[in-house]
Chain A
Amino acid sequence: MEPIIEVKDLYRSYTTYRGSLRKQKITVEAVRGISFSVQPGEIFGLLGQNGAGKTTTIKMLITLLAPTSGTCRVLGYDTFGQEKYIRPRINFIFGGESGVYRRLSARDNLRYFANLYRLDPKERERRIDEILELVDLTDRADNLQETYSKGMTQRLQIARGLINDPEVIFMDEPTVGLDPLGAHMLRQVIRRLRDQGKTVLLTTHYLPEAEELCDRMVILNQGKIVATGTPAQIKGDAATLEDAYLNLIQKGETP
Chain B
Amino acid sequence: MKHLFASRSHNKPPFLAESFTMPRSVILSTMILQMKQSYARNMFQFCLIANPILNTILLYEMFRNSGQENFASYVVLGSGLMAIWGCICFSSAGDINRERNIGTLRVIFAAPAGFPAIIVGKILGNTLLSLVSLLISQITATVLYQAPLALISPGYFCIAMIALVVSFVVISSILACLLTLSRRTTLYMNCIEIPFILLCGFSFPIEILPSWLQTISRCLSPTWAVELLRMSVDGVTDSSLFWHKLEILAILSALYTLFAAWLYHVMDRRIRIHASLEVS
Chain A: residues with CB nearer than 8 A to chain B?
Answer: 1-4, 6, 14-15, 40, 62-66, 73, 75-77, 80, 82-85, 87-88, 92, 94, 96, 98-104, 108, 111-113, 115-118, 160, 164
* Other-chain residue from A6, A96, A102, A116 in contact with B111 (beta carbon distance below 8 A): A116
Chain B: residues with CB nearer than 8 A to chain A?
Answer: 1-6, 8-9, 12-13, 15-16, 18-20, 25-26, 29-30, 33, 36-37, 40, 102-104, 106-113, 118, 269, 272-275, 277-278
* Other-chain residue from A3, A82, A104 in contact with B36 (beta carbon distance below 8 A): A104
A40-B4, A101-B102, A160-B107 known; A118 vs B9 contact (CB < 8 Å): no
B109 to chain A minimum Cβ distance, whole angstroms, is: 7
Q: From DSSP, what is the main secondary structure of chain A's interface residues?
A: loop
A6 to chain B minimum Cβ distance, whole angstroms, is: 8
A126 to chain B minimum Cβ distance, whole angstroms, is: 17
- CB pair A85–B107 under 8 Å, yes or no, is no
- A-B contact sample (8 more), CB < 8 A, given A64-B278, A75-B8, A101-B33: A64-B272, A76-B5, A87-B110, A98-B102, A104-B36, A112-B33, A118-B15, A118-B113
Bound-state Cα–Cα, A187 to B25, Å: 34
- CB pair B118–A80 under 8 Å, yes or no, is no
In the complex, the chain B residue whose C-beta lies closest to that of A144 is B40
Residues on A with C-beta less than 8 A from B40 are 103
- CB pair A64–B110 under 8 Å, yes or no, is yes
- CB pair A113–B26 under 8 Å, yes or no, is no
A99-B104, A113-B107 known; A1 vs B4 contact (CB < 8 Å): yes
Residues on A with C-beta less than 8 A from B275 are 14, 65
- CB pair A88–B16 under 8 Å, yes or no, is yes
A76-B5, A88-B16 known; A99 vs B111 contact (CB < 8 Å): no
In the complex, the chain A residue whose C-beta lies closest to that of B23 is A118
- CB pair B272–A117 under 8 Å, yes or no, is no
